[in-house]
Structure 1
């Protein structure tokens, strides 16, 4: 961890959450931080770029196993190198994650500076933000922990609040943390003028945070350190030790430390900030730029006719959303779900997710497009005994070497060139060409080119679920079958072409 000794600030990005208040765009399998909510890049990518530059060391990203390949892929697209992607065995909220990052930095430099930030916030002026952070370093060097606060402009009940104590020199201390209040209470806090929104961004010296845990939440120290001691590197990821991590309480940093400590100073964020915690926040970003206050937010796939105080959003040009005469409404459509809600009920969107989950509807948690380390696939049509998918394989990526026991597959390449292995046969399949994968055949597809491969897959069989995969080799270290297919003598063997494919993949991983 040499960069942590250099005096630079180590950003710690929290990217393991699965928020539901931006459903149906944000879902458990692909939450809002990895989506483009207000611009071309995702919130996670914007956060990575914001915390890159001369004052910052490479970031530590705390996430979970389900998101690790999404994190790695989006990190690569930013061009930011040297990140440490830490995989938590199970979600235990923010307190253990922040302590683990602090202990990682402290192992190289106990006085190393750590900046913890959610990966799903919007800060429009990165230079101004970094200037504020740099100024706060002087407070941190006194041993204080700094929390960043935002001057409220409305009685928002979706944010936590910081009540300020008297001025101490060049900064103010936090008298108390106030969890998300009811709207009436939020209005009182706004009128009082002595409260800020809690932005959930913290700056501290690594050892100072560890000491706070020792004083206020010592039960976290040994399990987190044990988990770090058992951590293992696997391809691009640092996997924390499983058993000690599972022993940890599920607790936020606010409850574990911030609300108990008398050592918390506040630094005001004078640059624009929003956490986009609900569709009302997305709408409010547009209202702020609208002098009449009657903003209509409509993307390229949406049309508003005689609407006021309305958010209209579609899943793309192929799905047109039209609102006529709407007032104070949210309408958000994706390819498989539509949300229609009163703007004032934006924070209740999670109730829709709960209701769908109770009905066991897949839209509660999953998208039609499923992301994989090699690319993605989406289901275009499905009925009894057949399914049609569109598949994208990234350049240089490869599906696992596998076979199916209950289905056969037809692949039609519509863009790019795929290298396909089917038993003893190894061939290139180019645009407008097709190949058939019989039931039980050992097969693999690789993209050896410089552009994505797009193909249409038609599956036929009695069982078409994703668990009908026997995986023999995988360059992404996903679980594989303990034995290769056997030849007639009972010895482990692979068809010649498949063995060559494994050898090539092994060289690629190394």
Structure 2
């Protein structure tokens, strides 16, 4: 049995404005009808695979559970990193967690932002490497390249040790254009997918040998971890002292027991808008155009309008990326699309909330979005999942009016509890202790009008909360 370890704590800034710190690309619908995280979960499920272990950050813990619930998947565990420390500490924590569950556990370390249109082929590749992994090898997966790519690391492979399996000679850092052409021309070189298969015990031994300081601190942080609902919270004080390091650099480049499986199928890590364009359906002029976008006399361009109330029109564009959202628009030459990270940095320095926050704010009970903000008032649309409830709370600086437009709300205001149905409203006075719940089996949607001297999200005093946020 192979247990997938889904790594999904990254911020994905190269796909801004679709991907932001508050809701990064792995949870977004980038190329299909489900998120990259959900697609990764499906890819490594079924015969031969156990329940996934997820490693993520605190802001995303309820997004993870919501998206897994939508797939009907119960995880083996969800590890909460207090802060991102790169892939080496995350891998060490996952291996230690798996060892507690099963001393013979075999784990598959997988980034959750890859696109693999033929998932059954990748599953077969993983199963091909399982025998070597069971015998003590650390198996990685090299993608047969289709171009001289400078945005990926590469692998140099050696002699074949079994059908489809070969020795891994060395890791090659992201090359310049000339070096990439040389690597592409040599069949020994493959793209590095960053996916590793090994027994958890073998991986821990590799850390003991090559990165003992990282392993020691991670082990301490895991020993001090606390259970919180369905999550395992790694100790933040100890975790902050762990070296920020990639698993390639910390362990894999130094280990001698590495093998590689050649993967002949299609794969991409969707590291930027150019790769999204390559993965998208394109017309005869090479344009990838979303449902609410129009390309007139354009060539080789990507036009995406993410809001159904928008219409994006490109005229006479060539090799251009244009992504429009309700609160932000990004336009770039395709060759410069990798510089989106720089744009995000500039926006952060200017204090623009669009740099990190989406208009829709996801919470464990559902989501909300601000529709109108003015002086001393704000209008929101609030979506509450069936059976979900907001915390019992009060506010110092604002009062609220709630108007139910879909479903039924169970509303508590001080000592009074009542049902509020569609087209009915309720008033929440300043300072009143209140809560809204969705007792029904369909989503509940309401319009909230806030009025007061301060309307920030931090003006909340929580008294009870089913999501342990008090």
| Structures share fold, TM-score greater than 0.5 | yes
Query: Is 198-207 or 123-132 further displaced after alignment?
Result: 123-132
SS in 2 for 1:459: strand
**In 2, Cα distance between the equivalents of 1:336 and 1:82?**
34
Select the residue among 140, 144, 148 that pairs with 1:151: 144
**In 1, Cα distance between the equivalents of 2:378 and 2:436?**
19
2:46 paired residue number: 53
Q: Deviations along 1:175-195, whole A, 9 cap, x unmatched?
A: 221222223322222123321
Structure 1 residues without counterparts, runs of 5 or longer: 1-7, 481-510
SS in 2 for 1:39: coil
Alignment partner of 1:34 is 2:27:
yes
Contact 2:54 2:75 in 1 (8 A): no
Contact 2:31 2:280 in 1 (8 A): no
**In 2, Cα distance between the equivalents of 1:132 and 1:447?**
45
Select the residue among 214, 218, 225 that pairs with 2:208: 214
1:248 paired residue number: 242
1:99-110 map, 5 Å: 99-110=92-103
Contact 1:21 1:347 in 2 (8 A): yes
1:89-488 map, 5 Å: 89-170=82-163, 171-286=165-280, 294-478=285-469, 480=470
Q: Deviations along 1:285-324, whole A, 9 cap, x unmatched?
A: 237x77x6x4110010101111110000001321110111
Give the C-alpha shift of residue 259 in structure 1: 1.3
Query: Is 422-431 or 25-34 further displaced after alignment?
Result: 422-431
What is the TM-score with the length of structure 2 in the denominator? 0.97
Q: Deviations along 1:249-275, whole A, 9 cap, x unmatched?
A: 011111111111122111112222111
Select the residue among 79, 84, 104 that pairs with 1:86: 79
Contact 1:52 1:80 in 2 (8 A): no
Contact 2:7 2:54 in 1 (8 A): yes
Contact 1:158 1:347 in 2 (8 A): no
Q: Deviations along 1:400-450, whole A, 9 cap, x unmatched?
A: 111100111111111010011111211111100111111111110000001
Contact 1:286 1:295 in 2 (8 A): no
Alignment partner of 1:16 is 2:9:
yes
Q: Deviations along 1:137-182, whole A, 9 cap, x unmatched?
A: 1221231101101011112222111122333354322222122222
What is the TM-score with the length of structure 1 in the denominator? 0.90
**In 2, Cα distance between the equivalents of 1:44 and 1:442?**
37
Give the C-alpha shift of residue 89 in structure 1: 1.6
SS in 1 for 2:380: strand
Query: Is 56-65 or 85-94 further displaced after alignment?
Result: 85-94
**In 1, Cα distance between the equivalents of 2:209 and 2:124?**
31
**In 2, Cα distance between the equivalents of 1:353 and 1:186?**
28
Structure 2 residues without counterparts, runs of 5 or longer: none
**In 2, Cα distance between the equivalents of 1:219 and 1:108?**
24
**In 2, Cα distance between the equivalents of 1:270 and 1:121?**
15
**In 2, Cα distance between the equivalents of 1:322 and 1:454?**
32
**In 1, Cα distance between the equivalents of 2:353 and 2:167?**
46
**In 1, Cα distance between the equivalents of 2:18 and 2:446?**
25
**In 2, Cα distance between the equivalents of 1:278 and 1:323?**
20
**In 1, Cα distance between the equivalents of 2:185 and 2:117?**
27
Q: Deviations along 1:230-260, whole A, 9 cap, x unmatched?
A: 2222112111222222221011111111111
Contact 2:53 2:75 in 1 (8 A): no
Contact 1:49 1:80 in 2 (8 A): no
Give the C-alpha shift of residue 61 in structure 1: 0.2
SS in 2 for 1:21: helix
SS in 1 for 2:288: strand
How many corresponding residue pairs? 469
**In 1, Cα distance between the equivalents of 2:403 and 2:338?**
44
**In 2, Cα distance between the equivalents of 1:297 and 1:169?**
41
- Tell me which of the two structures has the higher relative contact order, counting C-alpha pairs closer than 8 angstroms and 6 or more residues apart: 2
Query: Is 450-459 or 148-157 further displaced after alignment?
Result: 148-157
Distance 1:355 1:414, change over 3 A: same
**In 2, Cα distance between the equivalents of 1:168 and 1:185?**
27
SS in 1 for 2:422: coil
